[in-house]
Structure 1
Amino acid sequence: MTMPGVREAYDDAAESWRRGPEAVYARLADAMVGVAPVELQDALVLDVGAGTAVAARAALDRGASRAVASDVADGMLRGRPAGIPAVLADAASLPFADRTFDLVTAAFCLGHMADPVAVLREVRRVAPAVVASAFTPGPGHPVKAAVDEVFARHGFTAPPWYQRQKAELEPRVDDPDGLRSLGHAAGFWQVEVRQLEVDAGLESPAAVVAWRTGMAHLAPFVSGLDPALLARARAEAEEAVAPLLPVTISMLVLCGS
Structure 2
Amino acid sequence: GICLTAASLLGTVISAVVLGIFIHHRSTPVVRANNSELSFLLLVSLKLCFLCSLLFIGRPRLWTCQLRHAAFGISFVLCVSCILVKTMVVLAVFRASKPGGGDILKWFGAVQQRGTVLGLTSIQAAICFAWLLSSSPKPHKNIQYHKDKIVFECVVGSTVGFAVLLSYIGLLAILSFLLAFLARNLPDNFNEAKLITFSMLIFCAVWVAFVPAYINSPGKYADAVEVFAILASSFGLLVALFGPKCYIILL
Would you tell me which structure has more helix in proportion to its own residues?
2
TM-score between both structures, scaled by the size of structure 1: 0.26
TM-score between both structures, scaled by the size of structure 2: 0.27
Would you tell me which structure has more strand in proportion to its own residues?
1
When Rg is computed on C-alpha atoms for both structures, the one with the higher figure is 2
